[in-house]
Amino acid sequence: MLKKASWCLFLIVLFSQPALAQLPDFTEMVKDNGKAVVNISTTKKAQPEPEGLQKDQPLPEGIPPEMEELFKHFFNNPDGGYGPGGDSQSLGSGFIISQNGYVLTNHHVVKDADEIVVKFSDRRELVAKLIGSDARTDVALLKVEAKDLPAVTIGAPQQLQVGEWVLAIGSPFGFEQSVTAGIVSAKGRSLPGGNYVPFIQTDVAINPGNSGGPLFNMDGKVVGINSQIYSRTGGFMGLSFSIPMDVVMNVVDQIKTKGKAAHGWLGVQIQDVTRELAESFGMKKPQGALVSKIMPGSPAENASLQIGDIITEFNDQAIETSADLPPMVGMAPINENATLKIIRQGETKTVNFKIGLLPEQDEKVAEVKTDTKPTNKLGITVSALTNEQRDALQIAKGGVMVQEVGKGAAKEAGIQRGDVILRIQNNAINNVTDFNEITAKLPVGKSVAALIQRRGSPAFLAFKIEK
């Protein structure tokens, strides 16, 4: 019996070793790199406040008395609190990239700060100078006066694989040198407001205060800056996003040499190609970036790109979804020649253009007033645009206004009251007569693409007229 028990124990140990061996050990990595991770605190001078405005909010019930001060600090401001005289303070993370004092963090961590203080792992605190900051990529470069600092090694995010282990070090809620780990969940994610960044998605626990900290691969090299989380509570929910270091270092190099970062510009508004839109354009599968608007005076206009073109390649790099294109163009050198491969009315073409400089543009959304006209067979009511509506919507010519939407193909496609229909299946809609003539000839049971403008933004929608 004893021999049998010993044999069973041997088998358990033998077969458990490979499983244990596969689990990563981060201890050496933290020892080697923890000293290069810093805490970033900023101060913004207080502004006069309206009378009766209260900074402190009531705390949740049931908090132990000895924990009240800690909860009071973070409950009222998860990124920081208030300093002497009501000056606002915020906390974030950063990391040293050179021994002579260059430090990286997020733009949003140091935005509008009057003072930036870098706190090192040895408890030293130094006031930092903001060398440059780029809101579009959320990258900021700082400099402290110090020498022989511990610095991280920059890695290659292109070599990251989904499922690979990664580690973050930062200061969530001000708790310095906190280490969390997880895996790469996805690559090349596009987020609202972050069109020029192909984010690395991970399930590493990231919370307020982690922003600006490094994301390490298993070789101990930094592959990203932790920047955003997706959350319905304000805390970690398993979706964290980091800026790839190739994007970051491109911005850093520009800030060092030019004082600011510049981004490439094509001058188009694009959208994904859905299955229905792919069918309407005669494509075998949904792919590419569908051009829904061309900016006046842009490189796209100079290259004779057209609305309805589908961009499938940029400089021989495949465009699977519309989110692939902006980072590629944004990182391309200004004034260099570039090539697009497009599908135009079923034919594949090559378009050459010169990368432009991305301008600062603000889209204005205009309110429209409508008047009812006879109902079209699609179940929608349309009318001609007035001169005032054209000015408000910035539409020089063409288009009809949707007044009412009833049952039918248009409603199922998502067309709404106030939409302006500019084009149907490569046919420009100049007036109500054009609209009626073109829709009367549309095929039954086949997907048809319509270009609309809604609240200042163009988009293609696909609809199908049923029998």
* Cα 346 to Cα 158, 247, 280, 296, 418, distances in angstroms: 33, 34, 10, 25, 31
Would you say residue 135 lies in a domain?
A: no
Two tokens, residue 308: 């309805």
SS3 content of the chain, % helix, strand, coil (to 5): 25, 35, 40
**Do 183 and 238 contact (CB within 8 A), yes or no?**
no
Q: Of all residues in the chain, what percent carry a pLDDT higher than 70?
A: 81
**Do 281 and 275 contact (CB within 8 A), yes or no?**
no
Q: Which residues of 210-237 are buried (b: 16+ CB within 10 A; e: fewer)?
A: bbbbbbbbeebbbbbbbbbbeeeeeebe
Would you say residue 16 lies in a domain?
A: no
Stretch 178-187: mean pLDDT: 95
Instruction: Determine the pLDDT at residue 46.
Output: 63
Closest CA to 146 of 210, 86, 85, 103: 103
300 Cβ contact list (under 8 Å, min separation 6): 266, 267, 268, 291, 294, 353
108 is catalytic: yes
238 shares a domain with 161 = yes
Catalytic site residue from 41, 88, 93, 108: 108
Per the structure, how many domains does the chain have?
Answer: 3
Would you say residue 422 lies in a domain?
A: yes
For residue 59, what pLDDT band results from cuts at 50, 70 and 90? very low
According to DSSP, the residues that pair with 383 across neighbouring strands are: 401
352 shares a domain with 390 = no
319 shares a domain with 225 = no
392 shares a domain with 341 = no
pLDDT in tens, 3-12: 555 555 555 5
Instruction: Determine the pLDDT at residue 101.
Output: 94
For residue 43, what pLDDT band results from cuts at 50, 70 and 90? confident
32 is catalytic: no
The three-point CA angle 240-243-244 to 5° equals 120
Residue 91 neighbours by CB distance under 10 Å: 28
* Cα 112 to Cα 46, 115, 140, distances in angstroms: 12, 9, 12
322 shares a domain with 276 = yes
Instruction: Determine the pLDDT at residue 227.
Output: 93
337 shares a domain with 253 = no
Instruction: Determine the pLDDT at residue 82.
Output: 46
281 shares a domain with 246 = no
Catalytic site residue from 178, 211, 227, 322: 211
Stretch 263-278: mean pLDDT: 91
Residue 72 has pLDDT above 50, yes or no: no
What CATH code is carried by the domain that includes residue 397? Answer: 2.30.42.10
Average model confidence (pLDDT) across the chain:
82
Residue 419 neighbours by CB distance under 10 Å: 25
Stretch 248-256: mean pLDDT: 95
Tell me the residue range of the domain where 448 lies: 380-464
Between residues 286 and 55, the one the model is more confident about: 286
Would you say residue 301 lies in a domain?
A: yes
188 shares a domain with 171 = yes
351 shares a domain with 272 = yes
Instruction: Determine the pLDDT at residue 75.
Output: 40
Q: Which residue has the tokens 């990124």?
A: 79
Stretch 181-196: mean pLDDT: 85
**Do 291 and 307 contact (CB within 8 A), yes or no?**
yes
Two tokens, residue 330: 């944004």
pLDDT in tens, 427-436: 888 888 888 8
Whole-number Å distance between alpha carbons of 103 and 75: 29
Catalytic site residue from 138, 309, 324, 419: 138
pLDDT in tens, 385-419: 877 778 778 787 888 888 888 777 778 878 888 88
In 365-421, where does DSSP find H-type helix?
A: 387-393, 409-413
